[in-house]
């Protein structure tokens, strides 16, 4: 069903459900089958096999196994909750509940949430939140093992970025959960110290913060702290998204699903960043690029900056079109066709922004990303029937602060990059609105992970990150007091070392009895 129908169904469910303690857990809303436009790259079964010569089939198979594994861990949570809802008045309920948690979720429930279930009913929101945080912890713990089959096969590694003249890739996608698989899936780009991801609602990144971070990276480059970065550039990329099958309802929520506004706003921020750096440091502005993602298909658009550094909303390279044009060619012929298409686009722009005359790093990176995206287009064609079944939101939790490099998968979480709630209020409000439909109207939790990175090279950095996390949690509770007082807002704090091995370490006890209990 589309978003409006889904919301109406949730409203009917909310009116009919039992009191919060003892309520039954319904299945997450799913989309009804409805007519959608055909995949613009290739239609399965239309007389052609949709097998492109440049697609890495082995990498697609490894990513599919990863997707099924991680999704299975999160989807098991509601299955277990439904089982518990039916058994909560059994005499051996505690034993049954713990056995299910150990077998299906690799965790145990706090006894305080189970012992009096036969009297007051089970607090499903608290159980769901506990299981979600445990599953996040499990996914982070197993991340290296889960990603090993495909991490090294990703075609855009750190050395590939360097080969294109990029020492730092700073990406700001929209905070929408449908872009959480941007790096490994859509762009087939490996996470590394050279790659930073900061998501904002509507891709409206903080220009002042980006100036500060550009300054820090340039200082590291000039001081020799970035080996091999001599002569390389800093690239800032903003990523907008749109839905080709339902553009007026499943586009960017922060821009009211108005695609033209989303594109224009992202371009304005990128131009503002270049102007800010030039005004502060002279002719030193970073390189910029704009990407668009059709989240129905994971098909990529690449907007290259012209020779003056200006981006254009209506001038871009379209990966779905290039997939269709090169389908059936030999691998060499397909490569030549894409290379020629990029060259023609550059000529049409009158040249592309460079630091030195004759450099073509951005054009080469565009070609790499488009070629890599062909594999993702075919991935969706083969493994998701050409278009994702859930084209809207289906996230499991909100992540506030820094993103989770070890959990990058479509629609797993909504990410709001911030240091304080005041500066990120708009992003958080969008996330809470999404989870009002997904969870809160069904009597389930508003789960928020507050995650900050720290530097073990800086004395006291870890403790300051923890303290910041607790301040943010307190501010979130104050902002959404309505849900906190009803026991539905569940928040945890975790920290990660930017340079060491500590990753998403929870630094507080699970909040099993929020303010409303």
Show which residues are catalytic: 176
Residue 332 has a CB neighbour count (10 Å cut-off) of 10
For residue 136, what are the CA distances in angstroms to 129, 308, 373, 394, 451?
A: 11, 44, 28, 16, 12
User: Are the C-beta atoms of residues 416 and 199 closer than 8 Å to each other?
Assistant: yes
Contacts made by residues 417-424, CB under 8 angstroms, sequence distance 24+: 417/172, 417/175, 417/198, 417/199, 417/200, 417/205, 418/472, 419/468, 420/471, 420/472, 420/475, 421/472, 421/475, 421/476, 421/479, 422/475, 423/206, 424/400
HSE of 67 in the Cβ direction (CA atoms, 13 Å)?
Answer: 18
Which two structure tokens, joined as six digits, stand for 286? 């970073």
**Residue 42: DSSP 8-state:** -
Give the tokens for residue 326. Answer: 């090169």
Run of H or E residues at 292: strand 287-294
**For residue 81, what are the contacts with CB-CB under 8 A and spacing of at least 6?**
25, 124, 127, 128, 131
Residues 6+ apart with CB under 8 A from 433: 253
Give the strands of the sheet with 287-294, arranged side by side: 195-197, 166-173, 233-242, 287-294, 299-303, 317-318
Phi and psi, residue 173, nearest 5°: -80, 170
Using alpha carbons only, how large is the chain's radius of gyration in Å?
23
Own/partner contacts of 385-390, CB < 8 Å, gap of 24 or more, are: 385/44, 386/38, 386/39, 386/42, 386/43, 386/44, 386/297, 387/36, 387/39, 387/245, 387/296, 387/297, 388/295, 388/296, 388/297, 389/30, 389/31, 390/30, 390/31
Query: Within 10 A of 316 (CB to CB), how many other CB atoms are there?
Result: 19
Contact partners, residue 91, CB within 8 Å, separation at least 6 = none
């Amino acid at each position: 069903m589309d978003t409006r129908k889904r919301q109406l169904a949730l409203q009917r469910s909310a009116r009919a459900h039992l009191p919060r303690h003892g309520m039954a857990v319904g299945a997450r809303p799913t989309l009804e089958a409805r007519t959608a436009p055909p995949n613009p790259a290739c239609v399965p079964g239309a007389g052609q096999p949709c097998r492109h010569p440049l697609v890495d089939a082995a990498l697609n198979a490894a990513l599919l196994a990863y997707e099924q594994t991680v999704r299975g861990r999160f989807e098991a949570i509601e299955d277990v909750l439904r089982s518990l809802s039916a058994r909560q008045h059994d005499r051996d309920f505690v034993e049954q509940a713990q056995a299910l948690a150990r077998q299906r979720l690799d965790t145990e429930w706090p006894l305080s949430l189970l012992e009096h279930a036969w009297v007051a009913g089970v607090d499903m929101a608290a159980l769901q939140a506990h299981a979600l945080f445990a599953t996040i912890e499990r996914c982070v713990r197993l991340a290296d093992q889960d990603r090993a089959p495909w991490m090294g096969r990703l075609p855009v590694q750190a050395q590939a970025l360097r080969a294109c003249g990029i020492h730092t890739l700073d990406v700001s996608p929209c905070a929408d959960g449908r872009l959480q698989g941007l790096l490994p899936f859509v762009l087939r780009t490996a996470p590394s110290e050279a790659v930073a991801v900061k998501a904002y609602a509507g891709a409206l990144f903080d220009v002042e913060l980006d100036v500060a971070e550009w300054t820090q990276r340039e200082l590291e480059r000039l001081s020799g702290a970035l080996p091999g970065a001599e002569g390389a550039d800093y690239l800032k990329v903003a990523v907008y998204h749109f839905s080709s099958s339902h553009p007026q309802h499943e586009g960017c929520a922060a821009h009211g699903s108005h695609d033209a506004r989303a594109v224009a706003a992202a371009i304005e921020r990128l131009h503002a960043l270049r102007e800010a750096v030039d005004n502060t440091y002279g002719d030193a502005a970073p390189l910029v690029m704009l990407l668009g993602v059709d989240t129905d298909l994971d098909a990529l658009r690449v907007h290259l900056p012209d020779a003056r550094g200006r981006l254009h909303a209506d001038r871009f390279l379209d990966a779905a079109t290039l997939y269709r044009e090169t389908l059936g060619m030999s691998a060499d012929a397909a490569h030549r066709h894409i290379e020629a298409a990029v060259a023609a686009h550059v000529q049409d722009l009158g040249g592309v922004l460079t630091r030195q005359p004759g450099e073509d790093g951005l054009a080469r990176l565009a070609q790499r990303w488009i070629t890599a995206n062909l594999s993702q287009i075919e991935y969706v064609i083969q493994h998701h029937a050409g278009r994702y079944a859930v084209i809207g939101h289906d996230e499991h939790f909100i992540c506030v602060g820094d993103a989770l490099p070890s959990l990058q998968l479509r629609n797993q979480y909504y990410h709001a990059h911030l240091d304080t709630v005041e500066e990120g209020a708009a992003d958080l409000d969008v996330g809470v609105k999404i989870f009002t439909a997904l969870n809160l109207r069904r009597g389930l939790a508003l789960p928020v992970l507050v995650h900050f990175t720290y530097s073990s090279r800086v004395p006291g950095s870890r403790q300051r990150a923890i303290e910041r996390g607790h301040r943010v949690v307190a501010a979130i509770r104050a902002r959404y007091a309505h849900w906190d007082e009803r026991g539905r807002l569940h928040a945890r704090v975790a920290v990660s070392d930017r340079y060491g091995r500590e990753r998403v370490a929870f630094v507080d006890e699970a909040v099993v009895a929020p303010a409303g209990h």
